[in-house]
Chains A and B, each alone.
Chain A
């Protein structure tokens, strides 16, 4: 929450208004927001960022990109905004290099930072104004715009955290396997039916104890998280669950409550073992340590087995030739369309900007 609130205040504070605000406070808030974002990235997703040169470069480039983006949208001088945007593009190119896309980085530098920004500077030069102007010194609804933007950002970040933070699943697995390996089941979990109930054949089963209910709920939410990772068959487009998911669902919904109501709790250990094994297996699918040998997933129309874990999926070393091959085999039509689009845009720009006699 901290980075979002501090960032929102920073941007709102720095947006141009007719009154002059001292920039000092904006700077402080911005530093706070950046530190908060860095902390979120370091800890918020559960996996540790390795302490390597790569992480230093990543944090450096992304920090530069964000700082210059803020300077760009808050600048009062459009020429400076354009230059700040060029620096944002250069920092993003650094990120592209880290992501093994050297050709794209070079192309972006040439096209964006070179051609497009220079065109911008020409237009700024041609439409220069003297003195203060409404265009540069006023903002439209800065409060609403900032609030809307940062609400969106908060949604993005919370969504990312929900998808990529698997610490709750790890905790559930640890919990279940601890219970499966316990010598003696904690009596707080068990709610045995009393003798009188059994003799009278009361149909109502006793309720679970609070601890047992919490345990079942934890397992259920963990299953909800890992369910998406389970592979599905290629032919079956209906949402048939993988058999591990079905086993897990059964164990959580029926096996575990029944075992907890057993007086001696004998069924608890095998049920917990099943659950922890199943969760581990699905987590392995998600991490890519379990590969889909028996299943095939569809990858843009072509059904092929996914037999490489995520960490070992590599891009080809010869980036330029590989990109060229992909462009001219898989995306040939798109290339033709892009070329046509460029041609039409050129014609259109000339037609629009041509100096015509404006009828009086």
Chain B
């Protein structure tokens, strides 16, 4: 049996990655996904302790975590849609008017990279020969 400490370490790694994503990304959707990643890390911990102690309360707690995450996802995605309709972008920095008064404004100085031209979709070569069509013929 794998000792419980190993599962705890994996849960800690997942939680940390989620935290970094939440702190550093600017797309609202990716930020929300990162929050869900943190929940996954915690869920691993709960289930590992449930196995370790031999009772089911950890698993039940994880079920509740999933239920709450589902609620969260519904409400948050509805919010994102509304925000997107207002500003036509999911960038969280567009809403920095809501920041604390003593926090400096975020200004982007470096220009965005130029758009790389999209690669054309592959075209299939015509395969085989088009059969002769006999328009007159009637299939009954």
> Cβ of A345 and Cβ of B74 under 8 Å apart?
yes
> Cβ of A327 and Cβ of B60 under 8 Å apart?
yes
User: Using Cβ atoms and an 8 Å threshold, which residues of chain A touch B91?
Assistant: 133-135
| Least CB separation from A341: chain B residue | B71
The residue that A95 contacts in the complex, of B7, B90, B92, with Cβ under 8 A, is B7
The verdict on A45 contacting B77 (CB below 8 Å), with A160-B12, A310-B52 known, is: no
User: Using Cβ atoms and an 8 Å threshold, which residues of chain B touch A82?
Assistant: 29, 33
| Least CB separation from B20: chain A residue | A149
Among B18, B24, B110, chain A packs the most CB atoms within 10 A around the CB of B24
Q: In the assembly, what is the distance between CA of A322 and CA of B55, in Å?
A: 10
> Cβ of B73 and Cβ of A119 under 8 Å apart?
yes
Mask for A290-320, Cβ within 8 A of B = 1, else 0? 0000000001100000001011011110000
The residue that A345 contacts in the complex, of B24, B75, B90, B112, with Cβ under 8 A, is B75
User: Using Cβ atoms and an 8 Å threshold, which residues of chain B touch A92?
Assistant: 14, 40, 43-44
Q: Which B residues, 80 to 109, have Cβ-Cβ distances below 8 Å to chain A?
A: 80-82, 84, 88-93, 106, 108
Q: For the complex formed, measure the closest distance between the CB of B59 and the CB atoms of chain A, giving whole angstroms.
A: 5
* B contact residues, range: 35 or more
Mask for A178-209, Cβ within 8 A of B = 1, else 0? 00000000000000000000000000000000
* A contact residues, range: 35 or more
A215 on the B face (CB < 8 A): no
Q: For the complex formed, measure the closest distance between the CB of B51 and the CB atoms of chain A, giving whole angstroms.
A: 4
> Cβ of A69 and Cβ of B18 under 8 Å apart?
yes
Mask for A37-81, Cβ within 8 A of B = 1, else 0? 100110001010110001100100010011001101101001001
A141 on the B face (CB < 8 A): yes
Q: In the assembly, what is the distance between CA of A146 and CA of B17, in Å?
A: 9
> Cβ of B56 and Cβ of A323 under 8 Å apart?
yes
> Cβ of A138 and Cβ of B108 under 8 Å apart?
yes
> Cβ of A54 and Cβ of B60 under 8 Å apart?
no
Q: Which B residues, 22 to 74, have Cβ-Cβ distances below 8 Å to chain A?
A: 23-30, 33-34, 36-37, 40, 43-44, 47-48, 50-57, 59-60, 62-64, 66-74
**Additional pairs, 17, CB under 8 Å, beyond known A73-B17, A338-B67:** A62-B6, A66-B13, A73-B18, A75-B30, A81-B29, A92-B14, A96-B47, A99-B50, A119-B77, A120-B29, A120-B33, A123-B80, A136-B27, A140-B25, A145-B20, A160-B8, A345-B70
Binding site for B on A (CB under 8 A): 7, 11, 15-16, 18-20, 37, 40-41, 45, 47, 49-50, 54-55, 58, 62, 65-66, 69-70, 72-73, 75, 78, 81-82, 85, 88-89, 92, 95-96, 98-101, 103-104, 107-108, 111-112, 115-116, 119-120, 123-124, 126-127, 129, 131-142, 144-146, 148-150, 152-153, 156-157, 160, 163-164, 299-300, 308, 310-311, 313-316, 322-323, 326-327, 330-331, 334, 338, 341-342, 344-346, 348-350, 352-353
Q: 6 shortest A-B CB distances, which residue pairs?
A: A313-B54, A73-B21, A345-B71, A353-B78, A135-B91, A145-B23
